[in-house]
Amino acid sequence: MSSSKAPEGPTEGAPAPDFAMPASGGRTVNSAALKGRPYLLYFYPKADTPGCTKQACGVQEALPQLGRLGLEIIGVSPDPMKAIEKFAAKYNLTFPLASDEDHKVAESYGVWVEKSMYGRTFMGMERSSFLIGADGCVRKVWRKVKPEAHAAEVMVAAKALLA
């Protein structure tokens, strides 16, 4: 039996799973408060690592254009709030970075997956993103995101969704 099955989680057109998490800047993010507004939920493995920093800074740079489109952005990692606050402050990240320490939200989105590095397997966050429409349904899914190109890909999809 192969363990390389596709991750579970919402597919395009399906309702986005509900969530509520603490976030940077003393905020709380939750799906109920976002009802009626489009948003991007992006999952990243670890704050202040090279790939995650590239991705977060790319999103921060694109924030003015994404904001004009009416798109809310939320980054999610399994890090504790202290590490997330430090990461947000270090790179002046103004969008909410949420802590999913118990990885319940990641599991509901199918991004808490088995990973392997140097022959060792472990559970961790898959770098993935979900564009959620104002109706609360998933409009676009990106799996195994490339950090450098992600903000541009989100911009194209957001423009198409919100035009």
* Catalytic residue IDs: 52
Please count the CA atoms within 13 angstroms of the CA of 120 that sit on its side-chain side.
Answer: 5
- Residue 106 to residue 128: CA distance in whole angstroms: 10
By three-state DSSP, how is residue 1 classified?
Answer: coil
Q: How many CB atoms lie within 10 A of CB 116?
A: 9
CB 147 within 8 A of CB 57: no
Q: What is the DSSP string of 23-54?
A: EGGGEEEETGGGTTS-EEEEE-S-TTSHHHHH
